[in-house]
Structure 1
């Protein structure tokens, strides 16, 4: 009897050790992947200044490029279907992460080492290829998170959220400094080398270490597509995704216009703008911690609706800033930009954390990669629509640098009204039970 008990204890210890090792490998892979994903703001800050100072583009052209470069993100369901269906050397996540990392690396290095000053068309093509690689990596990483989080209540999602936010903090903090110390091309070289290191490190990780759910390695794309369509026919899934896309697409983005207003009209230097984005990323990092410790008892609908309300309030704050109200209250423009502008930019991403947990709970087994890819591609498309909507709004209202951005306050009023519209249809988000309620049952 004693021998049997001791044998059971040994088996439990070995099993526990194996689970700890598996979780550690998952966190290494996903922590690195999402950290690099968050760090992408580092070269993109260089892109903004490269276009403004070197290529002399206007605010409208900058915003068009920012949104058009995200077009590869729209095809994420295709990458998800491929990674779900086609195994490479017995693996269907790691090879795609490695390929996406090296594609990004080559794209950024191509811009950096272009023999002459890169033209607008050249940099557009390279950015499209870089975002293609980034979208492939994101699809594979999101699929791993979805596959390993079916029985959890958000722990792994919170971890990768914080890893991405930490990358964003470092990217914006270093970007604000690097834009003054180095040229934008130097920033592209640094990020390209980091991606090369990610590619090499990923190759040393075997998918068997991650203990992913076993799937059929010979599943056809047609069958995988049918499973995705079947999942999307579920009302709770389709209505949720439609609401999320609507909540982003209905809001005209004025990011490019605000960047020109702050850097060109107000003359705020790049380090202050970089620090403002750091504040935003720190807020995202804290959001992951606060959600994990304090807000998991909230239902997703209640939390997402609250975030939408806060977004609208902050846009009203932007209106007061542009009208000079804060300036009349002895709050310098630089102080407002540093403390609030970066936070306003990232608030829209706060909804994604609780929403991914909703999708992880609703997602049928076998199409995690495809469904999560579809969700993120829908969000990407909504952001692109939002960006183009913002360009149309700025042109229609007449927001230009020549007249000192005098029509920008009116554009911000329209933006704030659009912020509150999705709240009316928030019932589309399923009222899933919170973690505390699950424990009670």
Structure 2
């Protein structure tokens, strides 16, 4: 017999060997796809300690992402089915639960300048974890009065906010000590939160349907417990004999610097627009939620369907951030805000089409149209907020950039509170209740008109190059002599970087 190698033409042997090696290529690519993220996480853990990486995943991914998604859906059904409140009341209560976000600079100042037992970060993680576990346990096992339920839900929000502020401070400090890895840390935060949020919304409706909103509150003790765990394992240097007498002076210095900055027209004018843009965009989310789940006037979506709809919103958020990063981040603020505010108002018309059931006349099912509505609205809403975040970061003077950015975020959160309470007032005036939705279309129309009204104040926003400095020289000079030896007030520097990076 003739051996196979004897009958191969010149060059065919190499081709046969290449063909035999081809099946290994997809396997190598698969190993690369799964191995690269693992190697990346190992690199971050080696450079900045594994407890920090785990803390980011726990706080951003599980507490804020997964836990935040579960909490939102569970709270909606808890107010509707357990406490049986009207949608206008639910709007007011949801605004109250956001108050811990409004006083976020206070949490930041505490963790920056008031160590406990020689540690700046670990005790605040422990406090946040205990607060979250206690509040969720009480809500899950006891049918409490509405006032106490509101207090416990607000305490749960405070738990998330405190953990958020502390992990932001850790990210900011590591960004200073490892500047080459600052972008990697921001990517870790964003990926953790977006992945956790998407997973949370997908399963939220299933859990609410199976175990009820109070059962979901019991599950939320797990994210709070993981925050408590971070407080016990975080690698942080111990600094005993802290001079607590200097704390009051640091608070006074920070207050003076922020007051001086806010007096500048180059700062307060954009701040006024930021607040007006958010506050005038009325929030009637609870009215829409009650209509979604109504069996008579609405489409009667199930718990699972509502969770899936919110997960589509998370995808819209992700797409909006990607679109801003790769195509719109270098546009002038005034031009960007003009078009995003305009499209934000027009996107609200999708709600109007859905409530008036015009989609059915066009042959489009409610669920399919609601998916389009949720995805498009969230994407455009993200495109509207991103330039506001970047604009806020440009208004922060050196030395107090973290605390001042937290102050600007509080102004925005006050705007969200105003929008929520304003939406509740509109729903109350129009008599939109748990079972009556005849005037919901009018509430949507009023909201859409008010969404466009901030365009009249667009002159308050600076034009020109968005990459140029917006602060006048006198504001920059006012920070001379106010620096301290320790890295203070940096709890939100990471958000400044992430807003610009996205």
Normalised to the residue count of structure 2, the TM-score between the two structures is 0.73
Are residues 1:37 and 2:64 paired? yes
From 118, 122, 125, the equivalent of 2:148 is 122
Are residues 1:105 and 2:133 paired? yes
| Alpha-carbon distance change, 312 to 238 in structure 1, aligned in 2, over 3 angstroms | same
Gapped regions of structure 1 (runs ≥ 5): 1-16, 210-215
| Alpha-carbon distance change, 158 to 176 in structure 1, aligned in 2, over 3 angstroms | same
The answer for the alignment partner of 1:328 in structure 2 is 361
Q: Distance in 1 between matches of 2:45 and 2:394?
A: 22
Q: Distance in 2 between matches of 1:426 and 1:25?
A: 45
Q: Is the 8 A contact 1:253 1:387 kept in 2?
A: yes
The answer for the alignment partner of 1:416 in structure 2 is 448
Per-residue CA deviations over 1:197-223 (Å, capped at 9, x if unaligned) read 1221243223469xxxxxx98552112
Aligned positions of 1:127-166 closer than 5 A: 127-143=153-169, 160-166=189-195
Q: Distance in 2 between matches of 1:376 and 1:83?
A: 17
| Alpha-carbon distance change, 144 to 268 in structure 1, aligned in 2, over 3 angstroms | same
SS in 2 for 1:50: helix
Q: Distance in 2 between matches of 1:98 and 1:125?
A: 20
For residue 175 of structure 1, report the CA deviation from its aligned partner.
0.3
Q: Distance in 2 between matches of 1:97 and 1:238?
A: 34
Q: Distance in 1 between matches of 2:412 and 2:237?
A: 31
Gapped regions of structure 2 (runs ≥ 5): 1-42, 239-244, 470-502
Are residues 1:287 and 2:320 paired? yes
CA RMSD of aligned residues (A): 3.3
Of stretches 305-314 and 80-89 in structure 1, the one that deviates more from structure 2 is 80-89
Of stretches 78-87 and 260-269 in structure 1, the one that deviates more from structure 2 is 78-87
The answer for the alignment partner of 2:371 in structure 1 is 338
Of stretches 68-77 and 26-35 in structure 1, the one that deviates more from structure 2 is 26-35
Q: Distance in 1 between matches of 2:392 and 2:53?
A: 21
Per-residue CA deviations over 1:202-246 (Å, capped at 9, x if unaligned) read 43223469xxxxxx9855211222222233334333333322221
| Aligned residue-pair number | 412
| Alpha-carbon distance change, 167 to 18 in structure 1, aligned in 2, over 3 angstroms | closer
From 191, 199, 210, the equivalent of 2:228 is 199
Q: Is the 8 A contact 1:308 1:419 kept in 2?
A: yes
Q: Is the 8 A contact 1:87 1:217 kept in 2?
A: no
| Alpha-carbon distance change, 141 to 226 in structure 1, aligned in 2, over 3 angstroms | farther
The answer for the alignment partner of 1:13 in structure 2 is none
Q: Distance in 1 between matches of 2:151 and 2:304?
A: 28
Of stretches 244-253 and 53-62 in structure 1, the one that deviates more from structure 2 is 53-62
The answer for the alignment partner of 1:174 in structure 2 is 203
Q: Distance in 2 between matches of 1:49 and 1:432?
A: 46
Are residues 1:52 and 2:85 paired? no
The answer for the alignment partner of 2:280 in structure 1 is 250
Q: Distance in 2 between matches of 1:430 and 1:201?
A: 42
Per-residue CA deviations over 1:303-339 (Å, capped at 9, x if unaligned) read 4443322211111121122122211111111222233
For residue 192 of structure 1, report the CA deviation from its aligned partner.
1.1
The answer for the alignment partner of 1:306 in structure 2 is 339
The answer for the alignment partner of 1:383 in structure 2 is 416
For residue 195 of structure 1, report the CA deviation from its aligned partner.
1.6
Are residues 1:77 and 2:105 paired? yes
